[in-house]
């Protein structure tokens, strides 16, 4: 299992219960599924404060696929993978599939990732984009109005963005050849993405 957290998420904390502090991927899942190996992928998708990363989706994509390659030895290339993606994490998983298909001709390992993908679970993944106006307002306030790479990520996640439209087109070719089991969880009622605490906005 490879889990990928979402926008402004944390590789461990995002999967942890706020009251019991149990991290279900670590504390519960291995008890239900024997001989399972669980990895939680972390990357700098922070929206506020100082960041050493450029926060570009292309960078996230390439680093993720490289890290998968690093942790899977040649003898493990056929070991099944179940991806779990929350929010932006789901988009990142789809990008890995897209990049793997494109680079298959140059690097056969990338085809092993596609062949080994048994299932993908999406949790609140914005395939069609998301309303980012309030989040962009929060990032503007934090950056003092200066343009940052975080603004670019949010523009790519906007509803109807060219980035997401291109992704759908690329993925249509993948699903013709690869048929992993897909499970998608989504909300049926609108919920806020940020809240105002005093004069400042915070991601919920």
Between β-strands 2-4 and 39-41, what pairing exists: parallel, antiparallel or unpaired?
parallel
Q: Please enumerate, as own/partner, the contacts of 28-34 that have beta carbons within 8 Å and a separation of 24 or more.
A: 29/1
Q: Give the chain's mean pLDDT.
A: 80
pLDDT tens digits for range 115-128 = 888 899 999 888 88
pLDDT tens digits for range 130-159 = 887 778 778 777 777 777 777 878 888 888
pLDDT tens digits for range 63-113 = 888 888 888 776 677 889 999 999 888 888 888 777 666 565 555 666 788
- In 3D space, the residue among 145, 9, 18 whose CA is nearest the CA of residue 85 turns out to be 9
pLDDT tens digits for range 3-40 = 998 887 888 888 988 889 999 999 999 989 888 999 99
Q: Looking at residue 83, what is its pLDDT?
A: 93
Q: Please give the model's pTM, rounded to 2 decimal places.
A: 0.83
Q: Looking at residue 199, what is its pLDDT?
A: 52
Asked if residue 193 has pLDDT above 60, the reply is yes
């Amino acid at each position: 299992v490879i889990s990928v957290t979402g926008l402004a998420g944390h590789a461990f904390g995002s999967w942890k219960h706020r009251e019991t502090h149990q991290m279900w991927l670590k504390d519960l899942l291995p008890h239900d599924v024997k001989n399972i190996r669980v990895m939680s992928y972390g990357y700098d998708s922070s929206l506020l404060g100082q960041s050493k990363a450029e926060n570009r989706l292309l960078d996230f994509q390439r680093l993720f696929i490289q890290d998968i390659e690093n942790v899977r030895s040649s003898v493990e290339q056929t070991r099944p993978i179940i991806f779990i993606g929350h929010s932006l994490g789901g988009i990142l998983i789809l990008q890995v599939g897209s990049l793997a298909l494109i680079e298959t001709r140059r690097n056969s390992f990338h085809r092993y990732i596609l062949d080994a993908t048994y299932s993908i679970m999406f949790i609140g993944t914005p395939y069609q984009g998301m309303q980012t106006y309030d989040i962009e307002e929060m990032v503007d306030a934090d950056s003092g109005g200066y343009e940052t790479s975080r603004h670019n990520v949010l523009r790519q996640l906007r509803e109807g963005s060219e980035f997401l439209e291109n992704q759908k087109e690329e993925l249509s070719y993948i699903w013709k050849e690869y048929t992993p089991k897909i499970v998608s969880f989504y909300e049926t009622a609108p919920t806020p993405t940020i809240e105002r605490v005093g004069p400042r906005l915070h991601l919920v």
